[in-house]
Chains A and B, each alone.
Chain A
Amino acid sequence: MTDAAVDRLPPRPAPGRFTVLSGLGALVLTVLTARAVDFDPTGLVTDLTRPNSVVEGLLDPDWSQIWSRRSRRAFIETLQLAVLGTAGGSIVALPLALYATDYGAPNRVVQVVLRLINSVIRSLPDLLWALLFVSAVGIGALSGLLALFFFSIAVVSKLTADTLDGIDRGPIEAGVAAGASNTSMLRTAVLPQILPSYVSFVLYGFEINLRASAVIGLVGAGGIGERIQFFQGRGEWDKLWGLVLLFFLVVFLVERISIVLRRRLV
């Protein structure tokens, strides 16, 4: 076996110019930004080794928050926000995505307007939605609900729109040729094709919203985030960490269940 095939393998092609240039570019950019913000690794080490009540709280979290009524209510509020926000947003996201497609738009004007609305909604992150509604309707769960509602529209309509681009167009042609109204055609020829994906996007949206609901609470939009902020303000780090770890556990469980369900769908 002197003439092994492996020796006769064609040589590995040299990396393309684009790969080399973009790699170099990324390196240069990283170094430049690090200098611009005065990044200093030694400072990081001293900060982390200094005695720190926040880290101590993490090492000895106070689990008693399970029994606290106010914490439990905050938990339930967070779940409610995530469920309602996701459900409402997903219901609105479906027609927004369907009527913005080239085959589903009743006319050009509607299509352009819907695409504009979609891209505006999609460009705002969850925290910004929360800030927006906290300033508009005040501190509380309603702001959180509205924020998650719009955030769900963004997530679900984007994913659904991508799926809608890749469907089989044959049934659409059949619906049009049969004299169906636009909406009837979408319902019968398109919806069955995307339904499993759509349901899985709704579940995914719920996962994201559950996590987001903790963050948006920090700016006063209700739920568990507000409670976390409360402990932060009082410096009760052990209780804060207890709460955060409980929340982590809930998110983890919900995600596991959701992933199993989604896998069965598609």
Chain B
Amino acid sequence: MIRFRDASVVYDGGVRALSNLDLEIGDGEFVVVVGLSGAGKSTLIRAVNGLVPLTSGHLEVNGREVPGLDRTGLRELRSEVGMVFQGFNLVDRTSVLNNVLMGRLHRVPTWRTLLGRYPADDVALAAAALDRVGILDKARVRANHLSGGQRQRVGIARALAQEPSIILADEPVASLDPPTSHVVMRYLKQISNELGITTVVNLHFLDLATAYADRIIGLRAGELVFDGPGEDCDAAVFESIYGRSLTADDTMDKQAAM
């Protein structure tokens, strides 16, 4: 359960990236956040695992009040929240398996990570995560030898290896081509459904959002301007989120056709 109440984030320099946000995301939901670049999508996602602190207001995640957490509390929270990044954030110079094992760091004793000797059940979890995204055979390959789509699947496996109750994905397909984007979105959706993991995905393309989201959240200048199921997200709603009518730039299929 993620619950924002009157939550605001103001960055140094005065940018109000989240403005008095009230939002509740229930367990197991698959939510897509859309909005223009700069609307505050990344800020919203990063607030959930405490990477960005709230300036004011409340945020409760899995029963914890995030703004009050100390360093240990934050690590505990983050251990329950997997994160998938636009730039994949893999370590190129090491194996796919080692990358996925980073998802186990919250549980593995530090001396073991120093020696690179992970417990067998953690390795088993990492392998299972790789298997779920269909690239177990690449486990011993160096991460930089993979294609973009494969790299993002490693990113998902790393998040999955945490055994999280929440997955946050910040524009996970923004650096991928359309077919690969669909593959990655399908994995995210499938994992959320089968394992009951609450998933929040930031997306730039509206057609991709409506194709996968159970629920769409529209942000504009840090404010919530739409919250509803994908089928309600028509042209009028679109204008309210983007402040203009739909263009080819806003849908992946049309942009790919250009």
| Shortest beta-carbon distance from A83 to chain B in Å | 24
Best-buried of B76, B85, B98, B155 by chain A (most CB within 10 Å): B85
Is B83 a contact of A181 with CB atoms below 8 Å?
Answer: no
List the B side residues contacting A187 at CB < 8 Å: 110, 113-114, 116
Given A178-B79, A189-B91, A192-B91, are A173 and B105 neighbors across the interface (CB < 8 Å)? no
Is A170 a contact of B85 with CB atoms below 8 Å?
Answer: yes
Is A179 a contact of B83 with CB atoms below 8 Å?
Answer: no
Is B113 a contact of A184 with CB atoms below 8 Å?
Answer: yes
Is B108 a contact of A177 with CB atoms below 8 Å?
Answer: no
Is B75 a contact of A174 with CB atoms below 8 Å?
Answer: no
Is A184 a contact of B108 with CB atoms below 8 Å?
Answer: yes
Is A170 a contact of B87 with CB atoms below 8 Å?
Answer: yes
Q: Does B89 belong to the interface (CB within 8 Å)?
A: yes
Best-buried of B76, B79, B106 by chain A (most CB within 10 Å): B106
Q: Does A175 belong to the interface (CB within 8 Å)?
A: yes
**Interface residue count for A (Cβ, 8 Å)?**
22
Query: Looking at the complex, which one of B79, B87, B101 makes contact with A179 (CB distance below 8 Å)?
Result: B79
List the A side residues contacting B90 at CB < 8 Å: 170-171, 174
Query: Do most interface residues of chain A lie in helix, strand or loop, or is the interface mixed?
Result: helix
Q: Does B51 belong to the interface (CB within 8 Å)?
A: yes
Q: Does B5 belong to the interface (CB within 8 Å)?
A: no
List the A side residues contacting B199 at CB < 8 Å: none
List the A side residues contacting B93 at CB < 8 Å: 192-193, 195-196
Query: Looking at the complex, which one of B98, B105, B159, B162 makes contact with A181 (CB distance below 8 Å)?
Result: B105
C-alpha spacing A188/B83, complex, angstroms: 17
C-alpha spacing A12/B90, complex, angstroms: 47
Given A170-B85, A183-B110, A183-B114, are A178 and B92 neighbors across the interface (CB < 8 Å)? no
Q: Does A28 belong to the interface (CB within 8 Å)?
A: no
Best-buried of A173, A179, A196 by chain B (most CB within 10 Å): A179
Is B75 a contact of A181 with CB atoms below 8 Å?
Answer: yes
Contacting residues of chain A (165-222) with chain B, CB-CB under 8 angstroms: 168, 170-171, 173-181, 183-185, 187-189, 192-193, 195-196
Interface residues in chain B, defined as those with a beta carbon under 8 Å from any beta carbon in chain A: 49, 51, 74-79, 81-83, 85, 87-94, 98, 101-103, 105-106, 108, 110, 113-114, 116, 155, 158-159, 162
Q: Which 3 residue pairs of A and B lie closest in terms of their CB atoms, listed nearest first?
A: A170-B89, A180-B105, A179-B106
8 new A-B contacts, CB < 8 A, other than A170-B90, A181-B105, A193-B93, are A171-B90, A173-B51, A173-B85, A174-B89, A176-B78, A178-B103, A179-B78, A184-B108
A–B pairs, 27, beta carbons within 8 Å: A170-B88, A171-B102, A173-B89, A174-B85, A174-B90, A174-B102, A174-B155, A176-B78, A177-B51, A177-B78, A177-B81, A178-B79, A178-B159, A178-B162, A179-B76, A179-B162, A180-B102, A180-B105, A180-B106, A183-B110, A184-B113, A188-B94, A188-B101, A188-B113, A192-B93, A195-B93, A196-B93
